[in-house]
Amino acid sequence: MQPPRDLRGPWLPLLSWFLLLCEVARAGRALVSCPTACLCASNILSCSKQQLPHVPHALPSYTALLDLSHNNLSRLRAEWTPTRLPHLHSLLLSHNHLNFISLEAFSPVPNLRYLDLSSNQLRTLDESLFSELQFLEVLLLYNNHIMAVDRSAFEDVAQLQKLYLSQNQISRFPLELVRLPKLTLLDLSSNKLKMLPLSDLQKLPAWVKNGLYLHNNPLHCSCELYQLFSHWQHRQLSPVVDFQEDLHCVSAKKLHSVFSLNCSEYKEHASVAHLGDAVTIHCDTRQQGMTKVWLTPSNERVLDAVANSTVTVFENGSLHFRRVQVEDGGVYTCYASGEAFNETLSVELKVYNFTSYGHHDTLNTAYTTLVGCILSVVLVLIYLYLTPCRCWCRGVEKPSSHQGDSLSSSMLSTTPNHDPMAGGDKDDGFDRRVAFLEPAGPGQGQNGKLKPGNTLPVPEAAGKGQRRMSDPESVSSVFSDTPIVV
C-alpha cells in the first residue's frame, strides 16, 4: 500500500507566480496612470516646464498637488480635466499665458485650498468666479493685468485667509474684500490706487490692518492719509514697519514720502462715554485668538464672570461696562498672549459727568438764567404799572375850581390893589397893608408847608368881603417870610 501523495508541492510554485503577476499588474496600472509629461511621487504630480498647451488628460483621482506652472496654457475651460479630483488641495498655474477662466473651471476641484494664478495675463475677475471654492484659503493673483475686481467675485469664499493682488492695474480699492470674515492678508501693493476709504480703513480691527499692504501706490497726499499710517506706525503694524520707505503719495505731480508731509503729529484718542451709557472697550490685537487679561486703572484684574458686576469680560476679550460711572474713567491695560508673540495695549476711557441727552450743569445754568430774566421782567412791569407815581396821578386829577385855586398860582400878590370906591380923609395913593405868612389852620401841611388846594384867609377891608389870593403872577412869593406891602 502506497502512502498518500502530498499535493501541496506542485501548487506552491504556481501560487507564487500568480501573486507575483498580480503585483506587476498593480505596478503597471500605477505607472500608466501618471501622465507622460509629468513626474509622479505618491499623490504629487509635477508637470512644470513642459511647454504644455493643454492640461494632460487622465489625471489620477488621488492627486493632492498638481503643478502646471511655467507652461503655455492660455485658457482654463470647464472640461480641462474629465476626472473629478476630490483630493486636490493645491493647484499651481503660475507663469502661463492664462487670459480666460471659465466660471465652471473649479467645479472638478471643490476642496481646493491653495490656488496660484500669478504671473499670467488675467484682466478681470468676473462675478462668482471663485464661488465653487468654498474651502479656499490662499489665492495668488499677483503680476497680472487685472484692472477691476467684481464686488461678488469672492462672495462665497468664506474661508479665504490670504489674497495677493499686487502688481496689477487696480484703481478702485476693493473694500468688500477686507470684510471677508477670515481674511488676514490682503496685498494691494504696486497698483494704481489714488484714493483710499480712510474712515473705513481706520475702523478695521488691528489684525486686518496688520496684513493690509498698500505701498507703491500713487496715493493722493493728505493729512488724513498721514494720520492713518502714523496710527499704524504707532501700533507697529507690519505694512508700515516693513515697507515704510515705499509708502509714497503724489502732490502737484511730485512723489513724496507719506511721513514727510507737514501735518500735525498723531495722538491716540481716548474712548469717550457719557454717564450711564453701556460701553465696550476692545483689546485690538494684531493677531486673532489671543488670550486677554484686563487691569483697571487701580491695577486690579477684571474677572471674567462676577455676579452682579457692572464690568464684565466678553468671550472675545472685550471689556464691557453695563452702566458706566464717572469713577470708571482712566487707563485700562490689556495683556494679550498668543502663539507667535505677546502684546500689551492701553486704552483710556473718559467719562463725562452728564448723560448723552445733555449736560446737567448747562441745563441748570440755562434754567436759572431763564427764570432770572422772567423775574426781572415781572419786577420792571410792577415798577412801571403798580408803583404810585405823582406825575401819573396828576394826569388824571380833576381840574380845580375857580374858587379853590392852589398855591401853585399864588398865595399872596404884590400887585397894587386900588379901590376907587374908598373915600374919606385917606391918602390918594394905594391902600397899604402888611401881612405875614403864619403857620396856622387846617390848610397847613407838615413842616409848616401849605397843602395844595387850600386858600389863605386875608384880613377884611372896610366895606369889603373876603379876598382870595390867586394872582398867577405872584409864584415867586409863595414861600417868602418877608413882609409884603399890599
For each of the chain's 486 residues, which pLDDT tens digit applies? 445 555 445 544 544 544 544 454 444 444 447 888 899 999 999 999 999 999 998 899 999 999 999 999 999 998 899 889 999 999 999 999 999 999 899 999 999 999 999 999 999 998 888 989 999 999 999 999 999 888 888 888 999 999 999 999 999 999 999 989 999 999 999 999 999 999 999 999 999 999 999 999 999 999 999 999 999 999 999 999 999 999 999 998 899 999 999 998 888 878 888 888 888 988 999 888 899 999 989 888 887 655 557 888 888 889 999 888 888 889 999 999 988 889 999 888 888 888 766 554 545 566 677 888 888 888 888 877 776 655 555 555 545 444 444 444 444 444 444 444 444 444 444 444 444 444 544 444 444 444 444 444 444 444 444 444 444 444 444 444 444 444
> What cell numbers appear for 8 in the block?
501541496
pLDDT digits (tens, 9 = 90+) for 387-405: 665 555 555 554 544 444 4
pTM over 0.75: no
Hey, CA dihedral for 135, 137, 143, 145, is it positive or negative? positive
CB contact at 8 A, 273 and 351: yes
Identify which of 295, 300, 299 has the alpha carbon closest to the alpha carbon of residue 281: 295
Rg (CA), the chain: 55
Grouping H, G, I as helix, E, B as strand and the rest as coil, residue 349 is strand
pLDDT digits (tens, 9 = 90+) for 418-430: 444 444 444 444 4
d(CA 216, CA 194): 11
- Cell numbers 499651481: residue: 92
The H or E element that residue 352 is part of is strand 342-352
Q: Provide the 8-state DSSP code for 4.
A: P
CA angle (300 as vertex; 297, 302 as ends), nearest 5: 100
Identify which of 254, 249, 255 has the alpha carbon closest to the alpha carbon of residue 226: 249
Grouping H, G, I as helix, E, B as strand and the rest as coil, residue 373 is helix
- Cell numbers 395844595: residue: 452
CA 47 to chain CA centroid, nearest Å: 54
> What cell numbers appear for 485 in the block?
406891602
- Cell numbers 405823582: residue: 390
CB contact at 8 A, 278 and 324: yes
Grouping H, G, I as helix, E, B as strand and the rest as coil, residue 140 is strand
If you count them, how many residues does the chain have? Answer: 486
d(CA 42, CA 461): 162
3-state secondary structure 19-57: HHHHHHHHHHHHHHHCCCCCEEECCEEECCCCCCCCCCC
d(CA 353, CA 361): 9
In single-letter form, the type of residue at position 294 comes to: W
